[in-house]
Amino acid sequence: MEETDEPRLDFSNTETAFSHKSDRELRKTYWLFKFMNKPNVVSVGNFLGNLAAKFPFHLFDPIIRETIFYQFCGGTSLLECQKVVDKLYAKNALTILDFGVEARETEDDFNHTLEENLRAIEFAASNPNVPGISTKLTGYVPFSVLEKLHAGDSLNAHDQIAWERLEERFVSLCNRAMELGVSLFIDAEESWIQNPIDQLVDKYMVLYNKEKPIIYNTYQMYRNGRLDYLKASFEDAQSKNYILGAKIVRGAYMDKERIRAKEKGYEDPILANKLLTDQQYDDSIRFCVNHHEQISICNSSHNKASTLLQTELMAQKGIPNDHPFLNFCQLLGMSDNLTFNLASKAYCVAKYVPYGPVREIIPYLTRRAKENTSLTGDMSRELELLHTEMLRRGLLNN
């Protein structure tokens, strides 16, 4: 392959990374990350937990709103998200919406989640800068039902009805998404409920991804064997003539996975160390880029090396930066150095923008933030970039 003359992306360019922030916004973000970087506040998750434990909700709510919520969330509603969507698009970055309410177990809750995500699909269809939404299937069915199916246990009549209702809800989402041309990203979840999720997503990807990628499954590359599963999914797509939608992540449940495996005495499903995870992740990116005509990927990494790898592979193959099947995504409020430097070079890059009522979105924020602090670095990386930009703008003395 011939190398192109295009220079490597400079992800240390903080002027581009934070060009969307005013001086006031930059200061606020800097001091927030500086606080979260303290030794006794080692992660966003701990930060949230500490506040929740110390303050009653009527005090806790405004504190969260004015600190962490608007750093990492688009708002409490779709309407409130519009300002964030517009601000991102002004810098050539797209938006993937994610209704962040989790841990629901009643039929009313499941129906509410469905209605909210149908509205999100319609909102996305009316915004050319919102190509898709993300959702978790545990938002539509009891966790225990998926757990039984994964274990191969028989479902009782009540559970069988719940599973059938999940499938009905999922089809409703897929139908609306296909009708309106909006992509639907299905989150991966715990390994002990993942098989039925994979099976359901695979079943309908065959039907809905014939002409364009509507449905995306998520592949957690910190798990043993997920590259093999990605390759098997591709073989299925080839044999059945559909486009594989693949969102590639490292993973968000490592501590929980290892604790459960030890307690129940089965083999740890997580790769032994970060190096092996990085290798499997990068191999998955190589595989997808090599087969980009039939795989549409979303490289959802906050890892600079894995992001740079995809751009270099694209350059080596002469693939245009804005190829619609080769996408990138990072969480709102994190890794702006990746998002906006990619956007400045016309790559297809988006921010995942969670939204929902403040109190109800805290579990989502905790889980999502841990994914990016435990596997790809910590708050110090973000703080260093912010510090550099504060100095560049003359907002700090040293």
pLDDT, one tens digit per residue, over 113-142 is 999 999 999 999 999 999 999 999 999 999
Q: What is the pTM of this model?
A: 0.93
Pick among 3.40.630.10, 2.60.40.1250, 3.20.20.220, 3.90.1150.10: CATH of 14-392: 3.20.20.220
What is the arithmetic mean of pLDDT over 268-273?
Answer: 96
- Residue 59 in tokens: 């005090």
pLDDT at 41 over 60: no
Residue 55 has pLDDT above 70, yes or no: no
Query: Is 182's pLDDT higher than 70?
Result: yes
* Residue showing tokens 């604790």: 259
Two tokens, residue 389? 């930009």
Structural contact between residues 216 and 186, judged by C-beta atoms closer than 8 angstroms: yes
> Residue 63: its pLDDT value, please?
78
- Residue 375's pLDDT is what? 42
Residue ranges of alpha helices (H) inside the chain are: 14-17, 23-36, 44-54, 57-64, 70-72, 78-89, 107-125, 143-151, 157-180, 194-208, 226-240, 254-264, 274-290, 304-316, 336-344, 358-374, 379-392
Hey, where are the domains in the chain?
Answer: 14-392
Residue type for 213, please?
Answer: P
What's the confidence (pLDDT) of residue 59? 73
Which amino acid would we find at residue 368?
R
Instruction: Tell me how far apart the alpha carbons of residues 58 and 61 are, in angstroms, rounded to a whole number.
Output: 6
pLDDT tens digits, residue range 234-257?
A: 999 999 999 999 999 999 888 899
